[in-house]
Amino acid sequence: MSRARARSQRPVAVVGTGVIGRSWIQVFARAGRETRVYDPDPIQARRALDWLAADLADAVAQGVMSRHAERELRRRVSLHPDLPSALSGVEYVQESGPERLEVKQAIYRELDRHAARRAVLASSTSALDMTRIADGLAGASRCIVAHPVNPPHVIPAVEVLPGAATTPAVVTRTCRLLSSLGQSPVLLRKYAVGFALNRMQAALVREAIDLVESGVTDVNGVDALIRDGLGLRWALLGPFGVGHGNADGGLREYYAKYGSAYIGLMNALNPATPSFDDAMVDRLATGTEKMEGSVKKIPQILAWRDRLVRELRTLKSGDPHP
Amino acid sequence: MSRARARSQRPVAVVGTGVIGRSWIQVFARAGRETRVYDPDPIQARRALDWLAADLADAVAQGVMSRHAERELRRRVSLHPDLPSALSGVEYVQESGPERLEVKQAIYRELDRHAARRAVLASSTSALDMTRIADGLAGASRCIVAHPVNPPHVIPAVEVLPGAATTPAVVTRTCRLLSSLGQSPVLLRKYAVGFALNRMQAALVREAIDLVESGVTDVNGVDALIRDGLGLRWALLGPFGVGHGNADGGLREYYAKYGSAYIGLMNALNPATPSFDDAMVDRLATGTEKMEGSVKKIPQILAWRDRLVRELRTLKSGDPHP
């Protein structure tokens, strides 16, 4: 993004600065956007900026960001003491507040009241329906869900889901803005519990838990089959793309040939929801701690994951899907 | 692997040379093993060796393999006109024949009759239970499932599943041999339809199909959420490792905190098996062809996938999980 282009753009606002909100700050500022930050809890907001400073310092230390770029990025971020000052003149608001309907509704009343007239009001919610959050709001037409994958400054996919009142123009502007940030917006047409991504994740996790609970394999076996097996393909192709590559005639031939095998297999899956009771959580957590080491190692594992995902994305953009 | 070490090892045999069998030839020969190849259909066997030559020529052209290494690798592969000559003196047999129980049983009778006394007889089957394949066989104790992910010369995970009669020593030898080839053996303790990997894949595919059929998103939306979202994490961490990183206190805290949310989400998944009828296959295939292009592009897409998976594995081995 050129400086002239960045100057001509209106600012954006990040409201709510937990783990997701702070990551969004980096997404916007890295893409050249003036990023205004507000959190009703000023200590949390300060912590988010401290995290940003530390994360960027790491990037400089690893040589993936220049000192100049780091300074420029941080200069684009400003902390605001109240909502009206954070929201004045913005083009887009990314809200990442608590996941309770009444709380979200109260936040959206405030956002709608204070945000510049044409600003899009987007929510990071992973669970709530914008039709209900924005119900009765004067500006319901500019409210939309933009649900990222944690952490959005590393993982690009964002689920975009309009509410019943959201205008098509707001959908288009949201997708365009997210794309300009380097994110991958995915438009959903209809609300479903968990949207799409977390439903697919839950389907796999349910089967993963069942494989351990029923004694087919252990925690490490499940994880190895994903990270050394299915995950290597899914980092490049989704389930339909993978199926398409499994027969010379593509998905059509593959499903025609193996449809009945799939039916048999799907019918054999255990449809029961795991209990998540103490004994189950203890068994799975003990296995996972044996595999991953002490919880004190988690920050190191996440730093490694983020580093490798970035390198993987560089690989993919350097050798794009034919 | 040193030449001295390779010379001291007994040969291995690949029986059946379809897409999976030919890929196994490359796995063994690349790791320095003398690899004997047999297929009852000599035209198929010849085609497998042609594929191997072409694939290695590509690797040389891309600069990821030296001409010398390519020549050495090909020298280790020999085509045999009959089973007794392919199996004499081998340490391990990787069978990749048709997936029908009676056919497999007939093959295993032959393998058990002709293979060197202590040879392991491993099957690439993705569906059949070794307890039934080897039922009544004199050498049932040396028979085992070693089910790879397609293609094994690119994707390392291998499901290892003993039959009721398989000895622990055969399990250990199989896992050790697969590890020495650079594969990732994952031991399963119990037979389940689809083993473990294809069950997890089917669970995700079922939900993916349901998301399209119910109109939540389209084929491209589903695939983008995996390749730009979940797949980027799953290439590095399995579902338990991912959950472990989602809370400071690891999986224990994560499941304790979000267990009830998971239960709600899992209860909301559609447990019905898709029909795989013509209309459904046509809808999904049409969407996939729109996304991936003509089926004529499939070989190019697979070459790209294999190239990037190799680079991703190089990244991972250069910066291993902390």
pLDDT of residue A8: 67
Amino acid making up residue A253: E
- Which candidate in A129, A188, A210, A230 is best for mutational testing of the B interface (most B CBs within 10 A)? A230
Quick one: pLDDT band at residue B20, thresholds 50, 70, 90?
very high
- Report yes or no on B75 lying in a domain: yes
B237 to chain A, closest Cα gap in Å: 5
Specify the pLDDT at position A202: 97
Q: Which residues of chain A from 76 to 135 reach within 8 Å of chain B, CB to CB?
A: 127
Q: Are strands B143-148 and B157-162 parallel, antiparallel or unpaired?
A: antiparallel
Both B203 and B82 in one domain: the answer is no
H-helix or E-strand spanning residue B316: helix B298-318
| B68–chain A nearest CA distance, Å | 27
Nearest residue on chain A to B244, alpha-carbon basis = A288
Are residues A273 and B295, on separate chains, in Cβ contact within 8 Å?
Answer: no
Distance from CA of A280 to the nearest CA of B (A): 10
Distance CA A291, CA A305 (A): 16
Residue B210 lies in a domain: yes
Q: Find the residue in A nearest to B194 (Cα).
A: A265
Residue B74 lies in a domain: yes
- What single DSSP character describes residue B149? P
Task: Determine the Cα angle at B239 with ends B233 and B241, to 5°.
Answer: 80
Q: What pLDDT score does B8 carry?
A: 67
Residues of B in contact with A263 (CB under 8 A): 273-274, 276
Domain annotation covers residue B76? yes
Q: Which of A187, A206, A228 is the last residue of a domain?
A: A187
Residues A181 and A220 in one domain: no
Burial A191-200, CB ≥16 within 10 A → b, else e: bbbbbbbbbb
Domain that holds residue B287: 197-236+275-318
Q: Mean pLDDT for each 10-residue chunk of chain A (322 residues)?
A: 59 96 97 97 96 95 93 97 96 96 98 95 97 98 97 97 98 98 98 97 98 98 98 98 95 95 96 96 97 95 96 97 95
Residues B167, B52: one domain?
Answer: yes
Strands, DSSP E only, in chain A?
Answer: 12-15, 35-38, 77-79, 92-95, 120-123, 143-148, 157-162, 184-187
Are the C-beta atoms of residues A125 and A151 closer than 8 Å to each other? Answer: no
Identify all chain B residues contacting A238, using CB atoms and an 8 Å cutoff.
208, 222-227, 231
- Identify whether residues B182 and B286 lie together within a single domain: no
Residue B266, domain member (yes or no): no
Q: CB A226 to CB B238 under 8 A?
A: yes
Rounded Cα distance, B169 and B100, in Å: 27
Residue A265 lies in a domain: no
Q: What is the pLDDT of residues B241-294, one digit of tens each?
A: 999 999 999 999 999 999 999 999 999 999 999 999 999 999 999 999 999 999
Confidence class for position B143, pLDDT limits 50, 70, 90: very high
Digit-coded pLDDT (tens) for B86-124: 999 999 999 999 999 999 999 999 999 999 889 999 999
Residues B180 and B210 in one domain: no
Give the number of other CB atoms < 10 A from CB of residue B66.
11
* Adjacency order of strands within the sheet including A157-162: A77-79, A35-38, A12-15, A92-95, A120-123, A143-148, A157-162, A184-187
Asked whether the beta carbons of residue B234 and residue A256 sit closer than 8 angstroms, the reply is: no
- For residue B269, give the DSSP letter: S
Beta-carbon separation of B204 and A200 below 8 A = yes
CATH number (domain holding residue B64): 3.40.50.720
CATH number for the domain harbouring residue B294:
1.10.1040.10
Q: In the predicted model, is pLDDT for residue B4 greater than 50?
A: no
Q: Are residues A218 and A159 in the same domain?
A: no
Mean pLDDT of B177-195: 97
Residues of chain B in contact with residue A322, where contact means CB-CB under 8 angstroms, are 297, 300-301, 304
pLDDT of residue A5: 53
Q: Is residue A270 part of a domain?
A: no
Dihedral, CA atoms, B162, B167, B171, B174, nearest 10 degrees? -110
The answer as to whether B32 is a domain residue is yes
CA distance A185 to chain B (A): 9
- Number of domains chain A is built from: 2
- Is pLDDT at B1 greater than 50 in this prediction? no
Q: Are residues A83 and A207 in the same domain?
A: no
Q: Are residues A206 and A294 in the same domain?
A: yes
- The average pLDDT across B173-180 equals 98
Residues of B in contact with A234 (CB under 8 A): 226-227, 230-231, 234-235
pLDDT at B53: 97
Name the domain boundary from B151, B166, B187.
Answer: B187
Residues of B with Cβ-Cβ distance to A194 under 8 angstroms: 265, 268
pLDDT tens digits, one per residue of A105-160:
999 999 999 998 899 999 999 999 999 999 999 999 999 999 999 999 999 999 99
Task: Test A269 with B202 for CB contact under 8 angstroms.
Answer: yes
Token code pair at residue B143:
């028979």
Instruction: Test A189 with B216 for CB contact under 8 angstroms.
Output: yes
Pairing outcome for strands A184-187 and A120-123: unpaired
Interface of A with B in 208-247 (CB under 8 A): 208, 211, 214-219, 221-241, 243-246
Q: pLDDT at residue B5 above 90?
A: no
CB contacts of B205 in chain A (<8 Å) are: 239, 243, 262
Nearest CA in chain B to A290: B241
Are B288 and A264 an interchain contact pair (Cβ–Cβ within 8 Å)?
no
State how beta strands B12-15 and A35-38 pair: unpaired
Asked whether residue B223 carries a pLDDT value surpassing 50, the answer given is: yes
pTM above 0.90?
A: yes
Interatomic CA distance for residues B189 and A217, integer angstroms: 6
Q: Looking at beta carbons, which residues of chain B come within 8 Å of A319?
A: 304, 307-308, 311
Same domain? For B23 and B58 the reply is yes
Rounded-to-integer distance, Cα B322 and Cα A273, Å: 33
What part of A 138-197 touches B (C-beta under 8 Å)?
149-150, 154-157, 159, 184, 186-190, 192-197
CB contacts of B306 in chain A (<8 Å) are: none
Do residue A126 and residue A201 come from a single domain? Answer: no
What is the least distance, in Å, from the CA of A95 to any CA of chain B? 20
Predicted confidence at residue A1, as pLDDT, reads: 45
Tell me, yes or no, whether B146 and B219 share the same domain.
no
Per residue in A70-103, pLDDT tens?
999 999 999 999 999 999 999 999 999 999 999 9
CB contacts of A271 in chain B (<8 Å) are 271
Mean pLDDT along residues B148-161: 97
Beta-carbon separation of A309 and B236 below 8 A: yes
Q: Are residues A159 and A231 in the same domain?
A: no
β-strands B12-15, B92-95 pairing: parallel
The last residue of one of the domains, among A187, A206, A223, is A187
CB contact under 8 A, B200 and A222: yes
Nearest to A265 among B193, B215, B245 (CB): B193
The arrangement of strands across the sheet holding B35-38 comes to B77-79, B35-38, B12-15, B92-95, B120-123, B143-148, B157-162, B184-187
Question: Quick check: B234 and A231 CB within 8 A?
Answer: yes
